A and B are shown apart, each in its own frame.
Chain A
Amino acid sequence: GENVEQHPSTLSVQEGDSAVIKCTYSDSASNYFPWYKQELGKRPQLIIDIRSNVGEKKDQRIAVTLNKTAKHFSLHITETQPEDSAVYFCAAGDTGRRALTFGSGTRLQVQP
């Protein structure tokens, strides 16, 4: 089955700095890579996703890159704000066929 590794487990940055979270996956059949943000006590919410036919995707301050050859993908958050503080999960899956496999999560803390 799919195995997703996520690093770092915790990340502390100053407000305004950039944050990068990296994930690797094992199953070359995976073609869908979403990122979820989970605030304390709340549900995970999708913030951005990328499919294997795309190398990079941006949405305002958030971007995701995918390297299919190396089987890794990354989340980039620029100009971080205190409200970005949360746990971020990466995931990998096969379009509709099987459930997403999640990474272990990164706790991001943005210091004001």
Chain B
Amino acid sequence: DSGVTQTPKHLITATGQRVTLRCSPRSGDLSVYWYQQSLDQGLQFLIQYYNGEERAKGNILERFSAQQFPDLHSELNLSSLELGDSALYFCASSVGRGSLNTEAFFGQGTRLTVV
């Protein structure tokens, strides 16, 4: 168990709908990252938050948004879903800027299926 918790584990929804994925980082970790992994593909960086503020954006669609709350948990919102959004969405956390302990721990992922 990495200490990073993602809910739900599985999600099936229809095209055009909106879903929210939730991530609780390891205790004490300030940085949260979201990655998308499509079938048999690599890990595509979506967005990073550090202590509540957005730090970096990757290949995140405008239909997607995220935030990190004061308690450091994060939510990834996916709207106007399309079939191509079906993927495994991982959250990872690390201690963050200024620390040498930068190992990123991954949650078990949320498998999103859009039908």
- Residue ranges of A at the interface with B (Cβ–Cβ < 8 Å): 32, 34, 36, 42-46, 49, 89, 93, 95-105
Q: Is B108 an interface residue (CB 8 A)?
A: yes
Determine chain B's interface SS by DSSP, over half rule: loop
Q: Main SS of chain A's interface residues? A: loop
Known: A43-B109, A89-B43, A99-B48. A34 touches B104 (CB 8 A): yes
Interface residues of chain B, those whose CB is within 8 Å of chain A, are 2, 31, 33, 35, 41-43, 45, 48, 55-56, 58, 90, 94-100, 102-109
Report whether B43 and A44 are in contact in the complex, using a CB–CB cutoff of 8 Å: yes
Instruction: Name the one of B55, B58, B102, B106 contacting A43, with C-beta atoms under 8 angstroms.
Output: B106
A32 partner, pick from B2, B41, B43, B102, beta carbons under 8 A: B102
Is the pair B106, A45 in contact by a Cβ cutoff of 8 Å? yes
